[in-house]
Structure 1
């Protein structure tokens, strides 16, 4: 989406014992550079599955303001890296993957030689600061490994990670004037006064610790660190860039600017001096903690006690290998690179958010301990409820149930008594619409993946959905829709609430809470209240019950929708496609409508309206880069022409996903775009999470084996597979003819075999 906006030890032997036997090296097909060009907003650096550290280069960290106005480049650098850039500013330890909002980029490190420069300089004059030119010819981006040559200093930079620790390795030339810069000011989404406070303390001549507090997208966030070198530094220096000094106390009594044992301020940069021999490696371990400095030190000791860079890299890649082997496909090299890079991107977020001892900072800003579950953060739920969490319910159910328990902890700590909307780092960002955590929770309960108090979870869902003060819910409850004059996203929010209410109803039915079921099953029909049969679209509705007169179904501005137009949102009724088809006039009219969505080319003026709609991710008027359309092609399965779904899906796959730097047709949105690719390549998709039903599309793989737990596998055979043979001729499930175009969750999780026979003509 395009918004402006447990302890896990990396031990290959333990992982191998817990996972099925590998069937080849799949890590080789992971290409993190895919999606780093244009609007994919992913990063090319190192991380382990769901790791707390994402150690990656920044090619720029633009300020929020430019000449006193909003700087549009802030959106471009949501992940800090753009493939077309020619310089690198440094390497920081936290990044969002594929979001449409900027934040993080904590603790930027840059190695240099020569005179110390503490400003980054500019891209057109990199010599004016510590940034360096680089070439993609000297860059390696792989699972848990990143390498690049910094041309300005002739330094080879390498990095890898464990769950909570970043490991840097810099190969220096011979120099009596070598430095490691630690920039505590740098960050993504650098608007004025983002840094609330920074603190650094020198423990000894090779270790420093500290923290950084920021007021960014996460409005109150503190991250602690411990940084240690493999050799003592000669001295440490610093510079304060604060416009207003606020130190007080003893600070003014010392004149030292070298090796000062303790530093604090809003804007602080430090550097560490070394003498190096030709080819000497300066190594840095940089541990993070959401709790304390001691937590960071303990995380470092537990996860990377030594200095063997290759071991840490290999252990992290072994973790990735185990995750990737949960689905083993056959296909061409390009197909495998697309598929396994999608798997990689799908397993970066949500991120682990706790120390090795289970302690974490909660939404109430108090320290809690996760008992019996791993605590996670980075919940982009408007996106990921659609396919990412349903994917986890198949291939990683324990992790998904831990994520649900993390959401429940969020609810318990929330002063608003609400489940997360878009949460990160012990903060609720209140981004996007709906209350889609209920979809994730209900999907887990309905599919039998609920090793938690399901009734308590249902109560939390109900409390969230009855919160009258939040985003028009009071109007929605009283009128059955949100009036246009009361909320800018009145139509799409009404539709999203209706789907979420359906999820609550299904969960209540599963738990035999029939009073709750009746209430929310009725609310789930509220989407009908914003459908205008005269225009044939979902349409903004006024408080007096009339539809708005000034209405353009093509535009995205001030029409009652978020990240889409009426053409797209009219099809957003994932829980009742049959009812929608009937409402729109039956099969023939509905099919014509969906066909037109894909074939109509939007005029250029609509692309100029807002950065929410760019030509990235667009096919006709179908917006694959914005998630409300992700189920649309599968709606043909509810008509008498399901072959059209097969045709459209096989058209979307190669147009929106390619094994190239620009190979993502829109923001990956913490894995949702990638999860769509994974499901669609396998041949089925969860149109309505919180049901046990998957709509069948057109498999793009030649063969796949999915690990579904308890030693069982679900095997996908595809006969006569080719780019032209996109139409299903016959389906068999466990050797028996399979009627219809749907699979159940039990069909998959019981294990077995499905066979698709493909052809070039539809049936």
Structure 2
């Protein structure tokens, strides 16, 4: 299965004077005013249930855009479909923890669990089959309420209503208790994803007075050795306190308590409908950092003010894009997808600017900078990061400078999949290079270009990790020496191209040209006889046996990363024109594209579960396929992209808990929908160019600055008209099926006329094809 912040309380401003000093993304969250013709709130369309069932791996709890705290219920903490700690299929809740991953294919986090109970104290969660054996509670989905920044549920076994909301680094809870002499909270530091006997490396707890707990823990899961610290306060002093360390009750609470399993039980006598609140801040630095975060972001107990501010923050962010037309279902999927696209990467710094670096040391940020975590780069470089350049451009320089710092600090070099100051080394390539190259291509200011060039040059030319020496020596990676050789080789080709773009911008033309040439190494893996990208042995011979739906030539390891030859053959995002030439021309590429969509969907038994959402051998449930339907734009029949994209929009997404074709992967699955439903996508983010697909809505309005909008107006007689007939740009005929990021940010207006039959001439001239490495003399800036 290993396939892989301005908070101000509106009605409580006088309570929040300390917040203005906090280092917060919210200081720039309200850059743009409401730009819509209608003042209707778009957040009403967000259905947080979507993706919480099936294989979506999403959580339903309370967080802010890119929030460091994700306060959410945990229904289970083991197994692939519980990577986020929650699955809609469950009927009991273990408690509410403060950190969660959104839609990943590997589990971690679920830190600092809190559960509210009545009755006899239980220090174990119990099982899903028998929740009464522990502190779990049954619940019913009809008793759940979830909206951006808020979650509520009735814990039916205890008759306790739990409500959750959040600031960026603090989770606030409100519990409404029944009358009971045996009410209590359990705070379980041993809880986490896959909480086996050796997962917690260490934990500690200190009691401060009769209303505060502080502590921390380190875990040995996916982000092996990561550390998380917390500060927790309750609104009413606890009547008494019990603490258990490694299964033994400890009566002396005056000293710091240490162990691998620590549970604290906060006892209360409650009256009917009594409310007790709790607020918990986290830090990656230390307990003092967590306390500073708590004091800065939540200095009061006004739960409703926090909830209202969270809702307003989400509305401000979601309304960056307004869509008109379409069905209610389509709007629900669209805005839920946009919501999911704004959950990661997450901030990972304290209000005083301190953060834990990839070198394991604590650092202090320069003014205006932020540290981030949870970069699912192999997934998110494709659509999620391009979407962020559109809807959150003010964050892009800080994110890029963060990636550059990570590369300087990490022994692994360029970030691959960093999580809470640890490199998970998950997936192939080092696609932080692509994300940085995209930002450079789009002209974002404030990126330290020379530092970026330095770390990227070192990675491409000197790094000795993850097969890079083999790649440099052979111009491909031999499959009998290194696993996933085809995917790794193709990813390094694309990363070479990305690095070359940054080096060219930084003035290192000589090295840029060399890496441009090396990025053509994908040609070394294409077998013209079979028409597929294939693994090669050290000798240069093709590995046998071979079948286009197989994972690899032997049982030792796979030759492809979460893909097979069908999908990997199209993994040349920087040079579709070159791929077409290699195949025998534009018509040959068209035939191969037809082939993947029309092939049998049969997969071998060892296929990873990530390969899902199949149309033939196209797998929309996993990222390697996401650009493929757009490659028709590089053939003589570019119109064929349009019905294919429309079909995928309609068939691969639903407004139901299991409404995602595959796991969400930190916004990528959702970002594909947002981009494609707006009618455009990036086959190669480093090009700065967007290609047209088939817009789902009648009008798309994007606020690019406070006074400027990018607008697409669509006319059609009925929703079934999915073919583009003509494109008008600011009153003039536009003959191409692509445009640039400069067009978007300058406030260009497109008018697209749709029809029921294709316009076979639009965009068909090879001279009008979108950018490609083989044609990189095209000026797309």
TM-score (norm 1): 0.94
| Matches of 1:611 and 1:480, distance apart in 2 | 27
Question: 1:149 maps to which residue?
Answer: 154
Q: 2:164–2:173: 8 Å Cα contact kept in structure 1?
A: yes
User: Pick from 321, 340, 345: which aligns with 1:345?
Assistant: 340
Question: 1:67 maps to which residue?
Answer: none
Q: 2:32–2:706: 8 Å Cα contact kept in structure 1?
A: no
Could you say what secondary structure the match of 2:217 adopts?
strand
Question: 1:300 maps to which residue?
Answer: 294
Question: 1:19 maps to which residue?
Answer: 32
Q: 2:50–2:336: 8 Å Cα contact kept in structure 1?
A: yes
Question: 1:140 maps to which residue?
Answer: 145
Q: 1:556–1:565: 8 Å Cα contact kept in structure 2?
A: yes
Question: 2:50 maps to which residue?
Answer: 34
Question: 1:119 maps to which residue?
Answer: 124
Could you say what secondary structure the match of 2:661 adopts?
coil
| Matches of 1:519 and 1:722, distance apart in 2 | 51
Could you say what secondary structure the match of 2:742 adopts?
helix
Question: 1:437 maps to which residue?
Answer: 432
User: 1:304: how far off?
Assistant: 0.9
Question: 1:249 maps to which residue?
Answer: none
User: Pick from 125, 130, 134: which aligns with 2:135?
Assistant: 130
User: Pick from 363, 370, 377: which aligns with 2:373?
Assistant: 377
User: Pick from 488, 511, 524: which aligns with 1:516?
Assistant: 511
User: Pick from 659, 662, 681: which aligns with 2:658?
Assistant: 662
Question: 2:220 maps to which residue?
Answer: 215
TM-score (norm 2): 0.92
User: 1:257: how far off?
Assistant: 2.9
Unaligned stretches of 5+ residues in structure 1: 63-73, 246-254
Question: 2:545 maps to which residue?
Answer: 550
Asked if 1:589 is matched to 2:588, the reply is yes
User: Pick from 631, 645, 665: which aligns with 2:627?
Assistant: 631
User: 1:259: how far off?
Assistant: 5.1
Could you say what secondary structure the match of 2:266 adopts?
strand
User: 1:549: how far off?
Assistant: 2.2
Q: 1:379–1:424: 8 Å Cα contact kept in structure 2?
A: yes
Q: 1:235–1:259: 8 Å Cα contact kept in structure 2?
A: no
Asked if 1:533 is matched to 2:528, the reply is yes
Could you say what secondary structure the match of 2:305 adopts?
helix
User: Pick from 479, 494, 498: which aligns with 1:484?
Assistant: 479
User: Pick from 611, 614, 621: which aligns with 2:617?
Assistant: 621
| Cα-to-partner distance string for 1:179-236 (whole Å, 9 max, x where unaligned) | 1010111111323311011111110111111111112111111111111111010111
| Matches of 1:256 and 1:212, distance apart in 2 | 19
Asked if 1:747 is matched to 2:746, the reply is no
| Cα-to-partner distance string for 1:309-357 (whole Å, 9 max, x where unaligned) | 1100110111111111111111322121111111110100000000111
User: Pick from 713, 722, 731: which aligns with 1:726?
Assistant: 722
Q: 1:270 to 1:559 in 2, by over 3 A?
A: closer
| Matches of 1:16 and 1:60, distance apart in 2 | 34
Unaligned stretches of 5+ residues in structure 2: 14-26, 760-781
| Matches of 1:465 and 1:722, distance apart in 2 | 51
User: 1:592: how far off?
Assistant: 2.0
| Matches of 2:547 and 2:416, distance apart in 1 | 29
Q: 1:59 to 1:715 in 2, by over 3 A?
A: same
User: 1:367: how far off?
Assistant: 1.0
Question: 2:23 maps to which residue?
Answer: none
Asked if 1:679 is matched to 2:675, the reply is yes
Question: 1:414 maps to which residue?
Answer: 410
Q: 1:10 to 1:390 in 2, by over 3 A?
A: farther
| Cα-to-partner distance string for 1:444-503 (whole Å, 9 max, x where unaligned) | 111101412212201111111224421211121111111111111111111111111111
Question: 2:7 maps to which residue?
Answer: 9
User: 1:111: how far off?
Assistant: 0.4
Q: 1:383–1:627: 8 Å Cα contact kept in structure 2?
A: yes
Question: 2:769 maps to which residue?
Answer: none
Question: 1:57 maps to which residue?
Answer: 73
Q: 1:95–1:104: 8 Å Cα contact kept in structure 2?
A: yes
* Count of aligned residue pairs for this structure pair: 735
Could you say what secondary structure the match of 1:484 adopts?
coil
| Matches of 1:721 and 1:631, distance apart in 2 | 29
Mean CA deviation greater in 193-202 or 585-594: 585-594
Q: 1:354–1:360: 8 Å Cα contact kept in structure 2?
A: yes
| Matches of 2:186 and 2:369, distance apart in 1 | 37
Q: 2:177–2:271: 8 Å Cα contact kept in structure 1?
A: yes
Q: 2:183–2:270: 8 Å Cα contact kept in structure 1?
A: yes
Q: 2:601–2:614: 8 Å Cα contact kept in structure 1?
A: no
Question: 1:278 maps to which residue?
Answer: 272
| Matches of 1:494 and 1:721, distance apart in 2 | 47
1:43-442 to 2 correspondence within 5 Å? Answer: 43-62=59-78, 74-241=79-246, 257=251, 262-331=256-325, 332-371=327-366, 372-416=368-412, 418-442=413-437
Asked if 1:501 is matched to 2:496, the reply is yes
Could you say what secondary structure the match of 1:694 adopts?
strand
Mean CA deviation greater in 223-232 or 554-563: 554-563
User: 1:275: how far off?
Assistant: 0.7
Q: 1:117 to 1:16 in 2, by over 3 A?
A: closer
Could you say what secondary structure the match of 1:401 adopts?
helix
Question: 2:21 maps to which residue?
Answer: none
User: 1:258: how far off?
Assistant: 7.2
Could you say what secondary structure the match of 1:466 adopts?
helix
Mean CA deviation greater in 662-671 or 580-589: 580-589
| Matches of 1:377 and 1:180, distance apart in 2 | 30
Q: 1:8–1:356: 8 Å Cα contact kept in structure 2?
A: no
Q: 1:610 to 1:267 in 2, by over 3 A?
A: farther
Q: 1:4–1:75: 8 Å Cα contact kept in structure 2?
A: no
Q: 2:348–2:420: 8 Å Cα contact kept in structure 1?
A: yes
Q: 1:401–1:449: 8 Å Cα contact kept in structure 2?
A: yes
Q: Indicate the RMSD between aligned Cα atoms, in angstroms.
A: 1.7
Q: 1:109–1:183: 8 Å Cα contact kept in structure 2?
A: yes
Q: 1:559–1:565: 8 Å Cα contact kept in structure 2?
A: no
| Cα-to-partner distance string for 1:669-700 (whole Å, 9 max, x where unaligned) | 10111111111011111111111211111111
1:602-613 to 2 correspondence within 5 Å? Answer: 602-603=601-602, 606=604, 608-613=605-610
Mean CA deviation greater in 169-178 or 371-380: 371-380
